[in-house]
Amino acid sequence: MFDDLGGFLMGVIAGLPGLVIAMTIHEYAHARVADALGDFTPRMQGRLTLNPVAHIDPFGLLMLFLIKFGWAKPVMVNPSNFKNPRRDDILVSAAGPIANLITAFVALLVMVILFKIGFPMSTGMKTVFSLILIYNINFAIFNMLPIPPLDGSHILRNLLPYELAIKFQAIERYSFLILLVFLMTPVLGMIFVPMQRAILRTFESIIHIFL
């Protein structure tokens, strides 16, 4: 029992930086791009900061550790403030996952550079960096699922013709049930595993070109 508790606590400590970074970077990117495109709602809500306190939902963070499904404080956006609402909403929605992928790439790049220069990385340090890498990739993949209210659903809705977009938005009432099915069945793993591998291979290929 105590060994299990100790293992859980060590997992929390090692995983906390990765989860906090992934959540903070994700929401900050949404806020920053929305602000740049003319919607000052995130600015007024104090979301144009990399301070995790502004973005982390403590209960959502706890749920990530307990059931592997959690959330941050969503960035509120008013598309009517955009010059081109559909295009700009797509850009804002894509900003979070893209920021997560950039963060994941930087984490892997740092690990590779440290290895090549012979920097002595402890097991704990390797674990922390590895989890920053994996959690950011996972955040990007998960949020790009076309399930309301995830980022992928915003992108898909804005790409669809108006009538189809309205019908698609109607499934939001079932989104929690859909997410439960994904979480309780192998479906999510069938999506995550190949995409994780593809992203990691792409990152490694890019780094191999320059290092």
Q: Could you state, in order of their start, the residue ranges of all structural domains in the chain? A: 2-210
For residue range 92-125, what is the model confidence (pLDDT) as tens digits?
999 999 999 999 999 999 999 999 999 999 998 9
**What pLDDT was estimated at residue 7?**
57
Contact 97/140 with Cβ under 8 angstroms? yes
Whole-number mean pLDDT of the chain? 90
3-state secondary structure (DSSP) of residue 118: coil
For residue range 9-26, what is the model confidence (pLDDT) as tens digits?
667 777 889 999 999 999
Retrieve residue 159's tokens: 């790409």
**What pLDDT was estimated at residue 15?**
83
Is residue 146 very low, low, confident or very high in pLDDT (cuts 50, 70, 90)?
Answer: very high
Is residue 86 very low, low, confident or very high in pLDDT (cuts 50, 70, 90)?
Answer: very high
Answer yes or no: 163 catalytic: no
Distance set, CA 48 to CA 17, 40, 80, 173 (Å):
20, 10, 20, 30
- The residue annotated as part of the active site, out of 27, 163, 172, 204, is 27
For 119, phi and psi rounded to 5 degrees? -70, 130
DSSP state of 22: H
Is residue 71 very low, low, confident or very high in pLDDT (cuts 50, 70, 90)?
Answer: confident
**What pLDDT was estimated at residue 9?**
64
Contact 134/18 with Cβ under 8 angstroms? yes
Mean pLDDT of 128-139: 95
pTM for the model: 0.92
Mean pLDDT of 178-189: 84
**What pLDDT was estimated at residue 96?**
97
Q: Is the pLDDT of residue 204 over 60?
A: yes
Dihedral of CA 18/105/159/27: which sign?
Answer: positive
